[in-house]
Amino acid sequence: MSFIGKAFGALTGAKAAAKGAQQAANIQASAADRAIAEQRGARDQATALQQPYVDAGARSLAQQMSLLGLNGTAGQQESINALLASPEYTTSLQQGEEAILQNASATGGLRGGNTQNSLSRFRGDLLQQVFNSQYARLSGVTSMGQNAAAGVGNVNLSTASNIGDLLGQQGAALAGGAIAKGNVAQQGFNNAIQIASAVAGFTSPKKPIAAPGVSGF
């Protein structure tokens, strides 16, 4: 095969290789796009499943803060009034006071001071009991919401890491395809110069060779 034929063959082969590299890069980049979409879909689904627990935990924490007065005295008073109006408190209060009065009636001390003191202390003790019970229940809901929020955060971090890796792979693939195209362009330029030089050598006029012993005019 002549030099020019080899040069044309090398150029054609390089172009074919570059085209294949570019196609492979595009396929890999497309696969990365689909994987990224799957990652984001899974993340959004996990977030949606956990969101009700996160919301419940946030509301529970707000109620705990109100009970402790961390949302202001007005908020604390509103929370206590809600406890006083709750069925848990009113039902227990009614049953407890009836029990105290029945006991006082049976012992003949219905109108005595001890009975009045017992009724007064019972109300305060009952409110404290209901308060503690409500706070403990809210703590359970708050912890559940905190765990759910932490789970969502971990999912987001993991998804971000995975997407970052996929974007890196995608960038590397596309860069590889671009480099392959650049190499072909450079190779084509080099081959063109070589072919032009070879053609010029074949077509340039030959200098006549003087016969031995014959001088020029």
Q: What is the pLDDT of residue 152?
A: 92
**Single pTM value for the model:** 0.63
Residue 35 CA, distance from chain mean position: 14
pLDDT digits (tens, 9 = 90+) for 79-129: 999 999 999 999 999 999 888 888 877 666 556 567 778 888 899 999 999
Let me know if residue 193 belongs to a domain: yes
Tell me the C-alpha distance between 39 and 32, whole Å: 10
Across 6-19, average pLDDT: 60
Let me know if residue 216 belongs to a domain: no
Let me know if residue 181 belongs to a domain: yes
Let me know if residue 36 belongs to a domain: yes
Tell me the C-alpha distance between 21 and 27, whole Å: 10
Residue 36 confidence class, pLDDT cut points 50, 70, 90:
confident
The domain total for the chain is: 1
Please give the structure tokens belonging to residue 193. Answer: 């110069």
**Domain of 128?**
3-201
100-114, 157-171, 179-193: the lowest-pLDDT one: 179-193
Let me know if residue 124 belongs to a domain: yes
Tell me the C-alpha distance between 33 and 40, whole Å: 11
Across 160-181, average pLDDT: 78
Let me know if residue 217 belongs to a domain: no
Let me know if residue 33 belongs to a domain: yes
